[in-house]
Amino acid sequence: MKERLKIWIQIKSPALIGSGEGFGTLIDSDIVFDDAGLPYIPAKRIKGCLRDSAKEVEEILKTAEISNPMKIDAVFGKTGEKEPAVVFFSNLFIQEHEVNQTWLRYFMEHDKFNKHITRASVQNHFTEIRQMTRIGKDGVASDHSLRSVRLIKKGEIFEGDVHITGSPDSNYLIIQTLNLACMNFRRMGTNRNRGFGEISCTLDTGKRKFKMPEALCIS
């Protein structure tokens, strides 16, 4: 039996969620796009970020000497274990992705529209390109340090699915771990110390009510 939950990420400041690849000689660090030019966040990236966030929550609880409700290995898996994780993530796409993708493909395939609606124009609608350089201690830009990066614009919302193997009753601690990881997940991508990558992450937990450790509650 599988349970499915929804997850949302809202971009609150331009985010450099790079794919690890560039775009020819124009862009040194690019974003992942589908064939219509719509950006998306790969499942592997979301899983890694939420694992790091969950570990951070675990450390906070440990430092505060609060009973640890986190089930990180069960949620994200453990290296070397034969048993897979019980949680599976989908890619995160912009809202109404399938409808938008279908129409964009239609426009791009017809001569009447494809001069105006291109993959590049769609990419430019959701993203922006910025140049960055490294400044030395002397206040002078370092040689050959100029880089072009593509950022997802502020305000975009991505959504996807989280699939959990098991019965709803047995998944309480699994979902609580995910929920705490999402609540703590506030920045994503690189150059976060420059103000990039501020986000909010929300998990739809349905009608479940989670009892937070009393030490975390503010009266």
pLDDT tens per residue, range 174-193: 888 999 999 999 998 776 55
Distance CA 72, CA 79 (A): 12
pLDDT of residue 148: 78
Rounded mean pLDDT of 32-41? 93
Nearest to 61 by CA among 210, 215, 206: 215
pTM score, whole prediction: 0.82
Position 206 confidence tier, pLDDT thresholds 50, 70, 90? confident
Distance CA 14, CA 218 (A): 31
- Environment class of 43 (CB within 10 Å of its CB; exposed 0-12, middle 13-18, buried 19+): middle
Position 90 confidence tier, pLDDT thresholds 50, 70, 90? very high
Percent of the chain's residues with pLDDT above 90: 48
